[in-house]
Structure formats: structure tokens, C-alpha cells
Structure 1
Amino acid sequence: MDTQLKFRVQHWLKNDPDPLMRAELQALIDAGDEQAITARFAGRLAFGTAGLRGVVGAGPTRMNRLVVQQTSAGLGAYLMAQVSDIATRGVVIGYDGRHDSQQFAEDAAGVLCGLGIKVYLTKKIAATPLVAFGVLHLGAAAGIVVTASHNPPQYNGYKVYWGNGAQIIPPHDSGIAACIEKAVNEQIKVTSLDDALTAGHLQILADDFYQAYRDGVHQSPVLQHQTAPEQVSLAYTAMHGVGNEMALDVLKDAGFTKVYSVAAQAQPDGDFPTVNFPNPEEKGAMDMVMAEAKKHNAMLACANDPDADRFAVAVRKSDGDYQMLTGDQVGVLFGHYLLTHAPDNQRFTCTTIVSSSLLSKVAASLEATCRTTLTGFKWLTNVGMTEQTDDNRFLFAYEEALGYTLGTMVWDKDGLSALVGFAQLTAELASQGQTIWDRLESIYQQHGFHLNSQVSIALKPTTPNIGAYLRDNPPQSIAGHKVVSTDDINLGKRLFADGGEEDISLPASDVLIYRLDNDARVIVRPSGTEPKIKCYYEVVETMNANDTLASAQLRAQANMDAFVNAHQASLPK
């Protein structure tokens, strides 16, 4: 081990407050595992617009108590420089049910209180949307939630909200990161929670805080369409996360009496013992809730991910089996439902560039606005709140990765209010003798069957830079269809085939969007860090009077397969 690395390791061992992490690092030293030690000290776990997320372990490239303390010291310094009344406005901190989450949250609280900043710390586990809610509810300057969302058990994370209740965006992310780099080399004071309570720097958020969120969902203007909730039956799983108690409460408040929770997945368990991967999008993750739904012949099988900010649903079909809806299908159903009930001055919706284009068509048909943002809820909600007007207030936003926000109580994705909203949509349809499938079919009949697919392509190290290649060799057609327009988000331009162009008001990003003359679309996102690209495909199939959802899907899937194959064959190898 070289002298510089040895010094850094010894410095870390001296400062790490966690005996388990010190023992883990010492074991690597004793084993002479220089490769593993070098990996632990190859830089730092990067702080970005999603905060931190990584595997729990010893060293600066892992999630651990010292990394959390250093991050909190940097965040505290940035807040003190940016927010004049930070000491009194304070920071809300909550945490999920992973093994280290409470300790990490208490470390963050101890550091901020040591800086003289007031902290509101949840007394127990909290769904991520409760923290976003809490920032605005308490008038705090920022929020922290310790969570790794739906990542595997060995992960944890640290997400930051700004005082507007939304996830941080530039320049705050880089500003905080710079302050963290400085804090790494400074002595960090960590106040004990007892001392912070005595000094008045710490307030524990008890039952009345959780009740305030529950009341907020019950009173939300967009969740007042209560049509015969007793007609709806649904199974629910918290997927070993934090959602179960609050989910059952908000459903009960909305009048839903036939709710069946999956007992084996109801309590928080950081090992996630009954799922291979605690993400509702993963194959098999919804098996237990669908089995519970089938046992009761329930209409819906619903899930939240472990921090309850995402919502997933499978819907009973005519044959009694259950089929998962895609995030795009749920998003479009929500958009249509909410817009048909919304007042004239609340018709502003948002979605992302990689989500289905169908919401924008539904919104246009209902004389509403749909704004498209970069990928990520931080963009959806920041754009939603800054671009809404008194005459056109924000209503709804979604991204295809199962994230939805209904109304303005929480400026982040909220799987709990989405659960209530989807149950209410189902109840309204049931009272009319219809199902979710009927509503989807009517939307597709009007606007075309939209099918979306994502493909991640691994490239050889020798493959040319895809973004540069496509800009130098712009395709005139893809899969036999003419390219009508190309959006180059890096340039901020939409380039039309006839030579015209117009500006795009999105932050620069290495993304290319091709729209074809058959309404199909492909989005290419080269990776800046590894030899791969992500491609997002959309095909639109006109439904005729004799079509069923199944027949339209078959036709769309055949077109999708041909589209994907032809496009990938055209990329440089």
C-alpha cells in the first residue's frame, strides 16, 4: 500500500464513529487486500441531484456514518451560506426501514444541531413523501430523507429537498457537493440528541405530524371524487417497506373497506426476505400481492415501493388473472381522470421526455397544458411550481418509472396519495359498470394504442461516441420511416426535416429525440460514464372499431420489435 493511501486509511479509521465499519476496514488491512482497500478510497461517493446512494460499507466510496456526517456538515455549511434564517427555519429529517437508516438520520441531526441549525426528526420510520410534505408544512429550509428507495438490501441513500419542498436541482447540488469536499478536511462536531433537545435545537416529529399528512391526503382537493368506494376491493403490499400503516389509514379515510394487506410483507424489514429485488417493476416482485388479490377476487393488486414514493398496480382481467399496468398507462389514466374533474384554472400537467407522448395528446384534447421535462421528479415538480400561473395551476405530473404526484400537497412523487387516487378512479368506473380496461381502451380508441419500450445497449470499448456519430450523421429515416424532426437537447434545438428549427426550453443534456412520419419516436441517451446507450422507443397503432386491447397490443408489439431491431442495426458497432 503506498504511503498516501496508507495515510488516508489511517485517517479514516481514526475518524469513523462506527466500530463495525472500522472492523470491516481493519479486516481488509489484515488480509492485505490492497485491491479492495483501493476501491474503497478511489474518490468519494458522489453527491448529485439525487443526493447520495450506494452500498453500505467502510470507506469514502460507500454509505456509512462518517460519509453521512461529512455530507451533513457540507449541507449545513451550504444552507448557512444560502438561507439567512436557517437556524430557526431548520431542516426536516426522516428515514426508511433499512438497517442503518435511523442511525444515519440521527447522525445527520447531530451534525446539523451542532451547527446551531434546528432539526425536526421523525420519531419513527416515515415514507419519503412525508418528508417532502413536512418541509412545506413546517416551513423548513430543507429536508433530508435517509432511504435507498427500491434498491437491494445492501444499499442506502441520502436525499435532499430544498425549502420549496422539491428535490434539489442545479446549482444547489454542485454547491452542496463543494461544501462537502471542504467539510471532509474539517473537524465535525456531532451533538448528542439529548443535548440537542435540551438546547432546543431538536424537535421530534410525533404522531401529530403523521396525522397532519394523513389529514392532508383526506382533504386534498384532487382526491374528493368519492364515488361508491365500497364497491372497490383491493390487495396491498408495502413490500417490506414503510407504507403499510399509512396506506391502510388513507384508504380507510377515503371509505375503502375491502382492503387486504399482504401480512408477510407488511412490516419494515431491511433484508426484504420475500422478494429478490424490492422494486415493483422487477419480475416476481408483485407475485404475493397478486396472489392475495386472487384469494379475495379483488379488483386491484396495489404496491408501494419500500419508501412509498412509487405506486404500482395490477388490474383483474375478465379471466380472473391480474395484469400489471405500465407506469405510462397509470400516468395517462390519472391524467385523463384528474383533468375531467379539474376546475378551469387547474389544468397544468407535466411528464418527462422518456415517458409516453399520450398524456400530451389527452391534455390537448381536454384543453389542458402538458409540459415535458428532463427525466427525474426533481425537474417535474420544480417546473410545475415555477411555470404554473393563477389561471393555470399545477394538477398532476408523472414519470414512467411508477412516479406520480397528484395536486400540490407534496412536490415529489407520492405513492400513498396515488394509491387513494387510483382506487377512486376504479370506484368511479365501477359505479358506471366499467373497468380500468374499458377506460384505457376508450383513450386508445381516441388517440391510438401507444406502446413504449426501453432498451439498454452495451457497446464495445472501440465503438465510436454514439452521440457525436449521430450528430455528424443525422439519420434521414429509421426502420423505413422518414425522420420528421430531431430534438437535440444538448443544443436546445428542434431540427425539422425541411430545414426549419425552433428552440427547446430544457436544460442541456446529451439526448437526441427522433420523431417519425408514422408517429413513432426513438430517444437516444448515450452514457457519459460507460460504453452503453439507453434507447426509448414508442410506437402508435391506430385502433379500428373491431380492435380489442389485445389485438391492438399484438400489432403494436410486432411493430415495436421490427422498429427496435432496425434502429439498433443502424447504430455504429
Structure 2
Amino acid sequence: MTEEDWIAHDPDPVTAAELAALDPGERAARFAKPLTFGTAGLRGPVRGGPDSMNLAIVVRATWAVSRVLTERGLGGSTVVVGRDARHGSVPFAIAAAEVFAAQGFSVITWDHPVPTPVVAFAVRHTGAAAGVQITASHNPRTDNGYKVYFDGGLQIISPTDREIEAAITTAPPADQIPRRPVHPADDTLIDAYVTRAAMVRRGDHGNPRVALTALHGVGGELAMRTLRTAGFGDVHTVASQFAPDPDFPTVAFPNPEEPGAADALLQLADEIGADIAIALDPDADRCAVGIPTPDGWRMLSGDETGWLLGDYILSTLDATDAATSVVANSVVSSTLLGKIAADYGARHVVTLTGFKWLARADAELTGFRLVYAYEEAIGHCVDPAAVRDKDGISAAVLACDLVAHSGAQGISITDALDRLALRHGVHTTAALSRRVADAVEAAAMMDRLRADPPAELAGFPVGATVDGDAVFLTGGDQQTTVRVVVRPSGTEPKVKCYTEVGLAVGADLAKIRERAAAVQQQLLATAQSW
């Protein structure tokens, strides 16, 4: 489709006028490289053109998803459509629902925003053929996205994504694709999600005081409901960040992992004497946890939370159930979960990065069931039977339950981390993101590293291996292991470096942690220079 044809058939007069007013060079750039499916869908800035998120993209992508479903014999089946509260989410979700309806599908959608895990749950719970969530998760405020679920609420993988992309190339002009109005559903499915998510609590161990922020996203109200349903009634929220706001006015980046994003949460936690602090990302599929320590409040890393939740879940299983249970983490996450799983007699699986792979960790293991999966980027799947994706709300319930359970035993979360270190060795992890101009610059950096990898890191000899788009640098000695994984981001213009240091435990745990932290800083400094 030529630039002129695209503009002439753009169903949104605002983006059509925007494209028409661009100088030829910038307009050509918008048409040079169309959006492609990355992490289970499309994601990009909200603006006109085929390289961005706009009404024309959503309409044609939905037509393509409909075509793929129909070719698989699923025409006329049920499809779920949800949205967050970002700029463009309302018209995008309405358009997606109406295109599906016009193609003969039965559509479940809502007239209000819903967290991403609700859509994943609804697809699985209803047996729907597919689900679409309009969201850009924790991306900058300028972005939006189109996330697709098939196969019981799992994020799509190849060849499905390539089939949809191929279908998009054959789609009619956006203004010629039929649409049919859809009557929104009631909240029955949302109520069912709340009931199920509250059930991840293992027992009535007490009622810890909780500080919570939704970071201007769509998870605040539903998280409050779910926590209260689970028996956690002492919940306090960061008022300035509770209501959905697509401009995310109080944070530079709406990601709980970003420096400063959780400052207001930790301040609230300190003021009210909370036992745990919870930060959800804007679409509530990620959960970050903060804890009080003798030196003040701090946020746990995604790996630390992963160790704690994985250990807690496995500790509640008897030996027979543990022997058929699977826990999983991605290749860029810590290796400690594997040691924890072995201690309980459970199966540990390492997958490629992303929950489209983590959710399938037990797919080829007959007689085994996935009970927990996590990735270091604060994504946790704590109830795979209900939501086969990361779910910040159910993870928040389990984290509060862990705090209550530990408190009933007189153990702090810091104590719990120390116990894991004494049992399995000290592990420290840290990540470094290098922002780049575009995918070309990211590829050039990765090519340099593949061609000339370092022979040592932090004074330890290392070897290099390449797996897919990632470079793994691993080595160490009898007492120390060092590991660096470098890969381009699938959703943002970044190259990410993930580091881990492991040390055998000796008499002085504090000194060993200091040593591990020093080695980690050397790894990060080296990675910064690449």
C-alpha cells in the first residue's frame, strides 16, 4: 500500500491529517518499517503510519487475527477484548471488538479498563479462542500496544505471530474492513477473577499492613478488592497514583523497576508502619515488592521476590506433589530457583525470555504441572491453572500471604532471604540497560560482543556462548560463579545486561554479601563499557 493509499484509507481523520502534513522525509520514515509482532503483539508510539499504534493498525491487525482463527476452524468462536487506560486505548479496543464481531465472532468486552491478567484469565476461564488486550504495559506514556492470546490464554508464539503478520499484508484498507457494534459484558468474569486470585492465599496467618501503588495504571481498584477478599483489610494506597492517568504525571517512567518510581510508595510505607509495600505496573501484570529492613525500606529485585515466592509455594506441597511440580524462570533470571527446586524434589525449567515461553514450561513434560514461573523483570505467575501469564494482582496476594506467614513465625523477609543464602549460597543479581537509538544500533552492539567477547570478567576466566539473540558469559572458580547475559530488549530501544554472582557460604554471611556486591559492581562497570 502506497503512502497516499494509506492516508486516503485511514479511518481516523486525525492521523490522516497528521501524515499528510509531514515532510516527505519523515513520512517516508514512518512507512519504511511497519510494526512487527514482538512480545506477543504490537507495540509502538501512538501516531499515524504503519510503524506506529493507530486505528488503522488495530483494525487491520484484528482482521488478520480473525482470518488466522477462521483458517484454523475457529470462526464464530468467542474472543475477549480488553484495554488499559492509555492514550488511544478506548477507540482501539472498540475497533478491535467491532471488527471481530463483524467477522462473526462472539465478543466479550467491557466498557471500562481492565488489567491485562483479567483478559488472560477470561480467555482461559471461558474457553475463548483468543484474547486481545490493548496495552503497552510499563512502556513510556507515548506508547500503546496490541497483545494477543491464543491456546487457553497463552501469549502467541511462532508460527502464529508470523501467520498474523502475513495476513496483515493481505488485509483490505482499514476503512473498508467492516465493523459491528458490540454490547459490553457485565462484571461476572471480573468477579470470578477476583475470587480466584484471592484464593492463592495459603492460610489465615494474620493481617499485615500493606502500602500499595497502582502507578497511575488500571490495577488499583481491582487489587484492593482482591486483597480484601483474601483477608488483607489493612491496605493503604498512594492517593496521587491510584486513579488511572495516561500521562503518568508523578513518574518519569511508569515502571516500578525504574529509579524513583517507587519513592512515593516507600515513603507511604514508612509513614504508616507497613509490613509490605506493593507496586503494580500500569496494566497490573507486574508486581514489585518493598520490605522494611534495619536500614530502612527497600524494593526487592525481581529475582529476590522470585526466590521467596518459589520457595514459599514449594514449601506448601507434600513430597508427592512436589515431585510432579514444575517451577520455571527465564534464562536472564537468577539460577537460584533451580537449587530451591532441587531441595524440594521439584522440576526446574529454564526458558527463553518472556512469559510466552515461561507459561509453556511444562508443555512437553507429561505428568508434570507448572506451579510457578517468574522473570527478573518483576513478572510472576503464581496460579498457572487460572492465569498462564504474569499477574501482578495474584502475585501481590501471595507476597502479602508470605509476609503474614513469616511474621507468624517471627521471621522477617530479610531473615527469609538469609535462610535461602545459608541453604543455597549467596546470590546477587543486577541488571543494566543501555538505551540505543534503534534496533540497528542494538544489533551492532550485539555483533561486536559476539565477534570479540571478553576472556575474563571481574578477574575470573569466562567463556562465551550464543543462544538466539543473547550472549552468555559464564565462569568463576571453586568459590565464585559469575554470569552475564546480554540481549536486545523485545519491547524498547535498549540492550540489557543481566549479571549474577554466586558465592559459597562461609561463617560470616555479611562479609560474603559484601564480596558478592563488589564483584557485581565490577561486572556492571565492564558491561557499561561495551
TM-score by length of 1: 0.85
Residue in 2 aligned with 1:214? 194
Work out which of the residue numbers 24, 32, 35 in structure 1 matches 2:18.
24
Q: Do the aligned partners of residues 56 and 564 (structure 1) sit closer, same or farther apart at CA in structure 2, a change above 3 Å counting?
A: closer
Q: Do the aligned partners of residues 311 and 564 (structure 1) sit closer, same or farther apart at CA in structure 2, a change above 3 Å counting?
A: closer
Q: Do the aligned partners of residues 217 and 80 (structure 1) sit closer, same or farther apart at CA in structure 2, a change above 3 Å counting?
A: same
In 1, Cα distance between equivalents of 2:202 and 2:71: 45
In 2, Cα distance between equivalents of 1:299 and 1:529: 34
Alignment check: 8 A CA contact 1:49 1:170 kept:
no
Summarize deviations over 1:311-336 as a string: whole Å, max 9, x none: 011111124x2101000000000011
Work out which of the residue numbers 376, 398, 402 in structure 1 matches 2:378.
402
In 2, Cα distance between equivalents of 1:99 and 1:527: 23
Work out which of the residue numbers 33, 44, 49 in structure 2 matches 1:43.
33
Q: Do the aligned partners of residues 345 and 388 (structure 1) sit closer, same or farther apart at CA in structure 2, a change above 3 Å counting?
A: farther
Alignment check: 8 A CA contact 1:515 1:522 kept:
no
Counterpart check, 1:435 vs 2:425: no
Counterpart check, 1:413 vs 2:385: no
In 1, Cα distance between equivalents of 2:321 and 2:223: 30
SS of aligned partner of 2:92: helix
Shift, 1:112, TM fit: 1.4
In 2, Cα distance between equivalents of 1:284 and 1:312: 13
Residue in 2 aligned with 1:369? 347
Alignment check: 8 A CA contact 2:92 2:134 kept:
yes
Counterpart check, 1:423 vs 2:400: yes
In 2, Cα distance between equivalents of 1:425 and 1:23: 54
Counterpart check, 1:453 vs 2:430: yes
Counterpart check, 1:95 vs 2:83: yes
Counterpart check, 1:235 vs 2:235: no
Alignment check: 8 A CA contact 1:345 1:393 kept:
no
Residue in 2 aligned with 1:498? none
Larger Rg: 1
Shift, 1:477, TM fit: 4.9
Q: Do the aligned partners of residues 240 and 171 (structure 1) sit closer, same or farther apart at CA in structure 2, a change above 3 Å counting?
A: same
Question: Aligned-pair RMSD on alpha carbons?
Answer: 2.6
Summarize deviations over 1:288-345 as a string: whole Å, max 9, x none: 11121122111112110000000011111124x2101000000000011110002432
Alignment check: 8 A CA contact 1:388 1:394 kept:
no
Work out which of the residue numbers 82, 85, 108 in structure 1 matches 2:96.
108
Shift, 1:184, TM fit: 5.0
Residue in 2 aligned with 1:66? 56
Residue in 2 aligned with 1:502? none
Q: Do the aligned partners of residues 463 and 303 (structure 1) sit closer, same or farther apart at CA in structure 2, a change above 3 Å counting?
A: closer
Amino acid corresponding to residue 65 of structure 1 in structure 2: L
Residue in 2 aligned with 1:481? 460
Shift, 1:388, TM fit: 4.3
Shift, 1:11, TM fit: 1.7
In 2, Cα distance between equivalents of 1:238 and 1:528: 24
Structure 1, unmatched stretches of 5+, are: 1-6, 198-203, 490-507
Shift, 1:370, TM fit: 1.0
Shift, 1:185, TM fit: 5.3
Amino acid corresponding to residue 6 of structure 2 in structure 1: W
Counterpart check, 1:444 vs 2:438: no
In 2, Cα distance between equivalents of 1:515 and 1:373: 21
Alignment check: 8 A CA contact 2:9 2:174 kept:
no
SS of aligned partner of 1:333: helix
Q: Do the aligned partners of residues 252 and 27 (structure 1) sit closer, same or farther apart at CA in structure 2, a change above 3 Å counting?
A: same
In 2, Cα distance between equivalents of 1:287 and 1:510: 32
Alignment check: 8 A CA contact 2:287 2:393 kept:
yes
My pick for the range that moved more, 113-122 or 144-153, is 113-122
In 1, Cα distance between equivalents of 2:34 and 2:527: 38
In 2, Cα distance between equivalents of 1:414 and 1:85: 27
Work out which of the residue numbers 525, 535, 557 in structure 1 matches 2:497.
535
Counterpart check, 1:86 vs 2:58: no
Alignment check: 8 A CA contact 1:69 1:188 kept:
no
In 2, Cα distance between equivalents of 1:57 and 1:337: 45
In 1, Cα distance between equivalents of 2:230 and 2:492: 47
Summarize deviations over 1:29-71 as a string: whole Å, max 9, x none: xxxx222222222231122343110000011111110111011
In 2, Cα distance between equivalents of 1:531 and 1:283: 18
In 2, Cα distance between equivalents of 1:461 and 1:164: 34
Residue in 2 aligned with 1:557? 517
Alignment check: 8 A CA contact 2:213 2:237 kept:
yes
In 1, Cα distance between equivalents of 2:256 and 2:492: 26
Q: Do the aligned partners of residues 460 and 43 (structure 1) sit closer, same or farther apart at CA in structure 2, a change above 3 Å counting?
A: closer
In 2, Cα distance between equivalents of 1:401 and 1:74: 30
Shift, 1:486, TM fit: 5.5
In 1, Cα distance between equivalents of 2:283 and 2:357: 20
Q: Do the aligned partners of residues 287 and 558 (structure 1) sit closer, same or farther apart at CA in structure 2, a change above 3 Å counting?
A: same
Residue in 1 aligned with 2:291? 315
Alignment check: 8 A CA contact 2:341 2:348 kept:
yes
SS of aligned partner of 1:48: coil
SS of aligned partner of 1:345: helix
Alignment check: 8 A CA contact 1:70 1:188 kept:
no
Residue in 1 aligned with 2:312? 337
Q: Do the aligned partners of residues 43 and 566 (structure 1) sit closer, same or farther apart at CA in structure 2, a change above 3 Å counting?
A: closer
Amino acid corresponding to residue 215 of structure 1 in structure 2: T
Q: Do the aligned partners of residues 106 and 396 (structure 1) sit closer, same or farther apart at CA in structure 2, a change above 3 Å counting?
A: same
In 2, Cα distance between equivalents of 1:420 and 1:51: 28
Alignment check: 8 A CA contact 1:336 1:362 kept:
yes
Amino acid corresponding to residue 234 of structure 1 in structure 2: V
The percentage of aligned residue pairs carrying the same residue is: 40
Shift, 1:258, TM fit: 1.2
Residue in 2 aligned with 1:124? 112
Summarize deviations over 1:234-288 as a string: whole Å, max 9, x none: 1101111111111111111111121101121111111111111110011111111
TM-score by length of 2: 0.91
Work out which of the residue numbers 452, 457, 465 in structure 1 matches 2:447.
465
Structure 2, unmatched stretches of 5+, are: none
Amino acid corresponding to residue 88 of structure 2 in structure 1: D
